[in-house]
Amino acid sequence: MQAKAMVVTAPGRIEAAAFPVSAPGPGEVLVRTRATSVCATDVKVFHGGVGRARFPLIMGHEFVGEVIAVGREAAGRFGLREGDRVTPEPYIPCGRCAWCRTEHHYHNCPDVRLYGVSMPCDRPPHLFGGYAEIVTLVDGSLLHRVAPETPDLAACLSSVVGNAFRWVKTLGRMGFGERLVISGVGSQGLCTLAAALACGVGPIVLLGLAADEARFALAREFGAEHILAVDRDNALEAVPDLLGGAPDVVIETSGAPAAIRTAIRLVRPSGRVVVIGLSGGRETAVAFDDLVWRDVSVVCGKGQAGNVGDAVRLIDSRRFAFEKINNTIFRLDDLARALAATERPPAGFIKAAVVFDAENVPAQRAAGR
Ligand SMILES: [Zn+2]
Ligand SMILES: [Zn+2]
């Protein structure tokens, strides 16, 4: 058997290739890929901007697949059977070092591997990324089984929703009735909204730009009560009115220096600002005197570690139509176009996904062909 894949042979170069599929080792699971969502990190990896990336590479770390073969040990460990759908966590930790034995920190493991980033495809079993028809889930993977009725386009967002739980629960330490501002309505902002609502957080104000109308519409569908376009409304004036006071927490997902400064000005004394957006090397001028006098904590951090279990439970609950975040669909052959759309989003774009089964393509959203 052979599996088709899109391979980044060197930064900026992508081509189709086929690889032999080998039987899984004792701790391994083979999955037939169902859907892979395109992450902004994929664009950075593609352009050679991620130091940990190894080429030639099959990218793709946000995916769901159907189990087609299970190694003996993996079957016992995960209770998996052929036909089950699983979504792996992107990080494959060593499981033994101090970081791996500390809750919520295993992505700091010095030996951590990363699907679709750090595992090149030039040695068997080759298939370590979601832009391949079949993926070998290696020993040590953290796998989550998905409920039968969960759409593939929602399940492949497990790590994105996991990130949201990290910002809300692990870094923001938020609970029922706390006031929250979410800055940025990308896929990460929308998932943060869902995770916050699931945790009982509220009231919530969502900040975006007037051009984000498609994202605002989905946010309203998810249950957002208060939405502000910061290029139309003055957030510093409007937010306290909408919330009935300054927010306890601001989660800043955009990375824009102006948005980070606004987040710090918005939060209440002794509040927390969670900054997770990347600024692309730009620096943000912050008056630390203000942080000291107002007793404000700024918390920064990477994506999920120990948060994907929460994410899969929420996705499986079907309370939020996460699949609508993946609103621009491509076939595997069109991965270069999917990356281009992620880099320069057309009007109405929220997030791209590659699907592998023609039946999986909602007709109205088939942007690929
Ligand atoms: Zn990602
Ligand atoms: Zn480790």
How many whole angstroms from 92 Cα to the centroid of ligand 2? 9
pLDDT attached to residue 369: 37
Average pLDDT over residues 24-50: 97
Query: Which tokens sit at 63?
Result: 């995916």
pLDDT value for 280: 87
User: Which sign, positive or negative, has the C-alpha torsion 359, 146, 62, 67?
Assistant: negative
Band (368; pLDDT cuts 50, 70, 90)? very low
Ligand 1 mean position to 106 CA, how many Å?
A: 16
Ligand 1 (single-atom ion) residues, CB below 5 Å = 39, 41, 62
Q: Which ligand is nearest to the CA of 97?
A: 2
CA of 359 to the centre of ligand 1 (A): 25
Residues in CB range of 313: below 8 A, 6 or more apart: none
Task: Find out whether the peptide bond into 125 is cis, omega within 30 degrees of 0.
Answer: yes
Task: State the chain's mean pLDDT as an integer.
Answer: 95
272: left (phi over 0), alpha (psi -120 to 50) or beta: beta
Model confidence over 211-263: pLDDT tens digits?
Answer: 999 999 999 999 999 999 999 999 999 999 999 999 999 999 999 999 999 99
CA of 89 to the centre of ligand 1 (A): 10
In angstroms, what is the span from residue 259 Cα to ligand 1's centroid? Answer: 22
Q: Checking DSSP bridges between strand 272-275 and strand 297-300, what pairing results, if any?
A: parallel
Q: What's the 33 CA to ligand 1 centre distance in angstroms?
A: 16
Length of the chain: 369
Which residues lie closer than 8 Å to 173 by C-beta, 6 or more apart? 272
| Cα 61 to Cα 260: distance, rounded to the nearest angstrom | 28
pLDDT of 345 above 60: yes
How far does the centroid of ligand 2 lie from the alpha carbon of residue 138, in Å?
A: 15
Q: Which ligand is nearest to the CA of 106?
A: 2
The pLDDT of residue 360: 60
Strands 143-145 and 63-70 come out as unpaired
Ligand nearest to the CA of 130: 1
**Distance (Å, whole) CA 171 – CA 297:** 11
48 CB neighbour count, 10 Å cutoff: 13
Q: Report the alpha-carbon distance of residue 175 to residue 224 in Å, rounded.
A: 17
Ligand 1 centre from 175 Cα, in Å? 26
Q: Residues of 331-367 as b/e, b for ≥16 C-beta within 10 angstroms?
A: bbebbebbbebbeebeeeebbbbbbbeeeebeeebeb
Q: Which ligand is nearest to the CA of 100?
A: 2
pLDDT tens for residues 59-118?
999 999 999 999 999 999 999 999 999 999 999 999 999 999 998 999 999 999 999 999
Phi first, then psi, for residue 173 (nearest 5°) are 50, 45
Per-residue pLDDT for 352 more than 50? yes
Whether the predicted pLDDT of 363 surpasses 80: no
Instruction: Report pTM.
Output: 0.95
| pLDDT value at residue 120 | 98
Q: Are 305 and 166 in contact (CB under 8 A)?
A: yes
Ligand with minimal distance to 112 CA: 2
CATH numbers and ranges of domains, the chain:
2-156+326-365 (3.90.180.10), 161-300 (3.40.50.720)
Q: What φ, ψ does residue 283 adopt, rounded to 5°?
A: -100, 150
Q: Which ligand is nearest to the CA of 116?
A: 1
- H helix runs in the chain, sequence order: 40-46, 72-78, 152-155, 158-165, 187-198, 213-222, 235-243, 257-266, 288-294, 308-317, 335-343
Each residue's pLDDT tens digit, 196-205: 999 999 999 9
Burial class (CB in 10 A: 0-12, 13-18, 19+), 136: buried
pLDDT of 357:
84
Residue 159 alpha carbon to ligand 1 centre in Å: 7
Place of tokens 């040695």: 123
For residue 89, the CA-to-ligand 2 centroid distance in Å is: 15
Ligand nearest to the CA of 39: 1
- How far is 325 from 353, CA to CA, in rounded Å? 9
Report the separation in Å between the CA atom of 244 and the middle of ligand 1, taken as the mean of its atom positions.
35
